[in-house]
Amino acid sequence: MVENIEKLKDIISSPKNILITSHRNPDGDAIGSSMSLYYFLKKNGHKVSVIMPNSYPDFLQPFTNGKVIDFDQNKEKVIDVLKTVDVIFMLDMNNMSRLADLSIFVEESNAIKILIDHHQEPQLNIANYIFSDPNISSTCELLYEIIDQMQMKKYFDSLIAECIYLGIMTDTGSFKFKSTTAKTHFILSDLINYGADNYKIHELIYDNNSQSRMHLLGYCLNKKLILYPEYNSAIISLTEDELNTFNFKKGDTEGFVNYALSIKGINFVAFIIEKDNIVKLSLRSKGSLCVNKIAKQYFNGGGHTNASGGTSYLSVNETIKSVEKIIKTI
């Protein structure tokens, strides 16, 4: 990593045209790492564009300041930008497929590609330089360490600090996951000293719910939660019709899976959701049960030991049956 740090420092030592991107359906860590890097690079004299494969939840809007371009809605503009960039940063993603339809244009670019990520099993042939640490809490924490090791924290301000704080907070479940270490808390303290308003960030993310989202959560827990106590497991599922009933907006189901995991005796949860005729799964676990292996083996996905995602090409009901079979083997 030390060698790559020096190369990265050399790459950004002179003004360049830089593109930053992250995974489809960007979350707090994707937006936080992308925007903190955006502000950092701008302060170093670079021309910077932030492009996401598709849209992101409304509750992340306060952190983007209108700087993020949605590829799905601006394909021609993004393709033009890609023709002129010198460097592409790919953040919070371990595989080119995570960029969805944007991936082919990134792959075809002759720009220097730099991957910064904390997921397991990164695809090693997608970037010229890779910064990967699956043991770290978030891409934002890794980005902080990279900037620190380049001895460039002098460029930090409240905007950068708040975006890094956002990513760490959301990817650690408000600092409750095992990936939260003493060093993580030290970094959080440092970010607050740089001006991150921890109370404001928490309120924007967790205390900003719509009435329809609360109704959807109640429906999930009351009507859609299935417990398998003999297997210490649970499943929650939602069809597209059910989502539409509650005026679903992107991000409305964020964190729902953790409610089931909080039940005493439950060590594994699958949250199954149908949207745009695609069935997605969020898998969560406690202890040593590795959902990354389950996601990779059965659902074309992956992620972390205790938090992973995947896709099913079956109906919601058929996917439930598949998960029920898996539950009996873990």
Among the three residues 179, 206, 233, which one is the final residue of a domain in this structure? Answer: 206
In the 3-class helix/strand/coil scheme, how is 96-124 assigned residue by residue?
HHHHHHHHHHHHHCCCEEEEEECCCCCCH
Does 33 lie in the same domain as 10?
yes
What is the C-alpha to C-alpha distance for residues 20 and 32, in angstroms, rounded to an integer? 12
Residue 63 token pair: 């952190």
Q: Residue 91: phi, psi to the nearest 5? A: -115, 145
Does 217 lie in the same domain as 202?
no
Among the three residues 206, 233, 259, which one is the final residue of a domain in this structure? Answer: 206
Does 38 lie in the same domain as 84?
yes
Calculate the average pLDDT of the chain.
Answer: 97
Residue 74 token pair: 């601006």
Q: Which helix or strand (DSSP H or E) is residue 132 part of? A: strand 129-132
Does 135 lie in the same domain as 41?
yes
What is the domain-level CATH number for residue 226? 3.10.310.30
The reported pTM is 0.93
Range of the domain at 259: 213-327
The CA–CA distances, whole Å, from 278 to 80, 139, 203, 271, 307 equal 30, 27, 31, 14, 20
Whether pLDDT at 278 is above 80: yes
**CA dihedral sign, ordered 33, 36, 41, 47:** positive
Does 198 lie in the same domain as 224?
no
The CA–CA distances, whole Å, from 54 to 24, 70, 196, 238 equal 6, 5, 27, 22
Among the three residues 206, 238, 264, which one is the final residue of a domain in this structure? Answer: 206
Q: Residue 278: phi, psi to the nearest 5? A: -120, 135
What is the C-alpha to C-alpha distance for residues 37 and 287, in angstroms, rounded to an integer? 33
Quote the pLDDT of residue 1: 73
Number of domains in the chain: 2
pLDDT tens, position by position, 172-224: 999 999 999 999 999 999 999 999 999 999 999 999 999 999 999 999 999 99
Quote the pLDDT of residue 36: 99
Of 44, 48, 38, the residue nearest 10 (C-alpha): 44
The CA–CA distances, whole Å, from 21 to 24, 25, 52, 68, 115 equal 9, 12, 6, 9, 10
Does 152 lie in the same domain as 73?
yes
What is the C-alpha to C-alpha distance for residues 229 and 282, in angstroms, rounded to an integer? 19
The residues facing 115 across adjacent strands are 90, 130
Q: Residue 313: phi, psi to the nearest 5? A: -100, 15
pLDDT tens, position by position, 73-94: 999 999 999 999 999 999 999 9
What is the C-alpha to C-alpha distance for residues 156 and 144, in angstroms, rounded to an integer? 10
Amino acid letter, 47:
K
Quote the pLDDT of residue 45: 98
Quote the pLDDT of residue 25: 94
The whole-number average pLDDT for the span 136-143 is: 98
Does 142 lie in the same domain as 125?
yes
Quote the pLDDT of residue 98: 95
The distance of Cα 24 from the centroid of its chain, to the nearest Å, equals 9
Whole-number percent of the chain with pLDDT over 70: 100
pLDDT tens, position by position, 236-265: 999 999 999 999 999 999 999 999 999 999
Does 114 lie in the same domain as 33?
yes
Buried b / exposed e over 12-21, threshold 16 CB at 10 Å, is beeebebbbb
